[in-house]
Chain A
Amino acid sequence: MDYSWIQIAVAAVFLTVVVTLVLSRGYGWFSVTFWRNAAVVSSLVMLFVLLWLTFDTTEKVRPGEGQVPPWTVINYQVGLEWNAAKRRQVPAVGEKTGFFGKVYGSEEAYALINKGKMTLQSRNCMECHQILGNGAYFAPDLTRAWLDPWWEERVMSMVGAASHEEAMKTWLQHPDKYPQGRRRMPNLHFTDEEAVALVAFLKWMSAIDTNGFPPRFGVVK
């Protein structure tokens, strides 16, 4: 789709007004008929535009197609870089590092991230954290959790882990033992499989191009 948002907005409003006026010829602007027509026309026009944009968006958010990364991104180093033209951070994929010492094929990576997403939902994470900015406001936003410097600066030595992913896994399985700040995460009894899958999901999510949200991530120490 090659239209800008202004073109879409103007077309939608223009179409609504014109069709309403044409259908309401001969009726005053404060008659019941005029507003009944306006109600039906605006609902249908906006619904039509939404459906049309939904088809476009659905195509563009397929993993690997646009701003959403492929499942196999978990095998690579993931980071953020400053995009001078857009004046915001965009995810950057670096060299192949593997994940927990293994390189995942596309199907395997999908299955792992799927397990991670199920785990995320089954433990009700969103009722304290935010996922892509949405959820409750009691715990940190998880959108860029994988990229948080806190893991290497503090958690790795605290839990005695040798790698970034190992630190996340160990901490997630025992958050009650290693409190961070005043608010403590409850122990949600993740199995080894669930914890690895959850870390995979978080790594994959951190590589989604979210149009710059959360802003200036990790810029200031």
Chain B
Amino acid sequence: MSLFALRQPKELYESQKLAIWYFVVAVALFGAQIIFGLLLAYQYIDPNFLYQKLSFMTNRTLHLNAMIVWLLVGMMGGVYWFLPIETGREVVGIKLAKFIWWVIVAGVSAVILVYLLVQVGPGNAFTLWFINEGREYVEAPRWADFAIVAWVAIFLFNVIATTLAARRITGILGVLIFDLVALGALYTAGMHYTVNVTMDQYLWWWVVHLWVEATWEVLVGVVMGWSLMYLLGTPRKLIETWLFLEVALVFGTGILGLGHHYFWIGTPEYWIGLGGFFSALEPLPLVAMVVHAVYDAGAHRLNTVNRPAFFWAVTQAFGNFIGAGVWGFMQTLPQINMYSHGTQLAAAHGHFAFFGAYVGTVLTLVYIAVQNLGKRIQIPLNSRLWTWAYGLLVFGIIGIVASFTISGFAQTMIERAELGSTWNAFIQSYTHPWYANTHWWRFWMGMLFLLGYVLLVWDLLTIGRRRAAVEGAHD
């Protein structure tokens, strides 16, 4: 067992108890995301399904928002889990952290209810403040934006104050603080209204791109670093060197890689070259992560204290590289992007990248936490069920991505290259068999994914328990 894992006391820290709540809510919202995703998949098959009652736009808002919240919550839970182990003490300001957590849970519930029941409002500022901001990914009404900023600020305070109280800063903590300052500050770039749609989207991407393609990736580096130290006993020096390398490459390529969102929004032409160049380099840190994962896994001959967490960690490295790196690179050069932008191909990339980069990360963290709950301490943690959950989730997402990719190719060719990008061209593309045939396929792959999720939840509730009970009988 690794030295880092041995630092875990028998009794959980308060911060770790809070982390459990983070994971519970994260996994629940993961379920909500899948349900709304299946509704969307069915509406592709039958556009009249729930028409004008729960329209595509409402389901998509919930599908996206559930995803953003559960992944962020899961990664923050990971920080609350590992922070006391890293610093060797309880988190400072834990009462405040618990308070803001329940405020956020109440806030998220309120936002979901408004999305579902009110859906849209009149074209004025009231709607943007209290119903829906109407900007993809940051749909949350403005009041909720302030709650989110307060939440990240308290989280940042917890991390900084705990680090100061421990009187010891590690490389991982340094990167975490640096990253959280950027993450919190960037969110405020999306909290404004402007008529000029070009300027609106320019700053909107500061939140969307610089979160998921920069600050979130670094946050993944931090929690995966801790996870590898726990799972494999990887030496700190190695972890920190790789983490700094990751930060250098992620920020070095990702900050100006932002330019790949500025090709077609009315911004100057220099962004075409800059965005193409830097975003083409964005897969570099992801390649580095794969190298690191393969090296580490091989060096330990796959020996770990926690099989499911370890497999999700390795899947994360490969999934991030293939989903974010390869599928992203496929359409990031402006010469290709001009035709593929805004087609189903973008959805293929989105699904693969979020699954690879973030779902794998959060599930690694959740399985690590589960291993330390009550009577479930089993080394190595293993079960037959998790392999089924894992297999179905990975197979399901590959099927979903394949269907989006094929319909994306068809749409790119028919709508953009052949028929001239008009309304009619759009209809011609989505009614073409090459596109339409993927609808059913996508839906059933989604059903398999849902089955994988059900098994995952079942496994999380039971893993380690049965064997502990058997051992108890022998005592």
Measured CB to CB, the residues of A under 8 A from B are 1, 3-6, 8-9, 12, 16, 30-32, 35-36, 38-39, 41-43, 46-47, 49-50, 53-54, 56-58, 60-63, 66-68, 110, 113-128, 130-141, 143-145, 148-150, 176, 180-184, 186-188, 190-191, 194, 197-198, 201, 205, 208-220
Contact = CB atoms under 8 A, between A and B. Distances in A.
B426 A141 contact: yes
Interface stretch (B154-162, B247-255, B304-312): B247-255
B277 A9 contact: yes
Nearest to B343: A137
A79 to B, nearest CB: 14
A78 B93 CA distance: 59
A194 B123 contact: yes
A41 B244 CA distance: 11
Which 3 residue pairs across A and B have the least CB separation, nearest first? A5-B273, A121-B134, A119-B123
Interface string B224-247: 000000000000010011001101
B86 interface: no
A150 B263 CA distance: 27
B171 A213 contact: no
Given A61-B266, A133-B342, A214-B264, 20 more contacts: A9-B274, A31-B241, A32-B237, A53-B271, A60-B268, A118-B125, A122-B132, A127-B56, A134-B265, A181-B427, A184-B47, A186-B52, A191-B122, A209-B266, A212-B264, A214-B341, A215-B338, A216-B417, A216-B420, A217-B420
B449 interface: no
Residue of A1, A116, A214 most packed against chain B (CB within 10 A): A214
Given A135-B136, A212-B338, A36 B171 contact: yes
A5 B51 CA distance: 47
A64 to B, nearest CB: 11
A121 B128 contact: yes
Given A39-B247, A122-B123, A218 B274 contact: no
16 contacts: A43-B255, A47-B255, A58-B202, A117-B200, A121-B127, A122-B128, A124-B120, A125-B57, A125-B134, A126-B136, A128-B55, A150-B422, A182-B430, A184-B48, A184-B51, A190-B123
B119 interface: yes
Given A61-B267, A148-B423, A184-B48, A46 B256 contact: yes
B268 to A, nearest CB: 5
Given A218-B420, A220-B418, A122 B252 contact: no
A206 to B, nearest CB: 11
A149 B258 CA distance: 34
B439 to A, nearest CB: 11
B55 to A, nearest CB: 5
B201 interface: yes
Nearest to B62: A127
A54 to B, nearest CB: 8
B382 interface: no
Interface of B: 43-44, 47-48, 51-52, 55-58, 60-61, 119-125, 127-128, 131-136, 139, 171, 175, 178, 193, 195-202, 237, 240-241, 244-245, 247-249, 251-252, 255-256, 258, 261-274, 277-278, 338-339, 341-344, 346-347, 416-427, 430-431
Contacts of A114: 195
B235 to A, nearest CB: 11
A120 B201 CA distance: 14
Contacts of B201: 131-132, 134
A143 B344 CA distance: 17
Nearest to B423: A150
A111 to B, nearest CB: 9
B57 A42 contact: no
A148 B55 contact: no
B179 to A, nearest CB: 10
Given A137-B346, A150-B422, A217-B421, A35 B251 contact: no
Given A6-B273, A57-B202, A122-B120, A68 B342 contact: no
A150 B175 CA distance: 53
A71 to B, nearest CB: 8
B284 to A, nearest CB: 12
A70 B136 CA distance: 26
A186 B195 CA distance: 25
A62 B237 CA distance: 49
B197 A131 contact: yes
A91 to B, nearest CB: 10
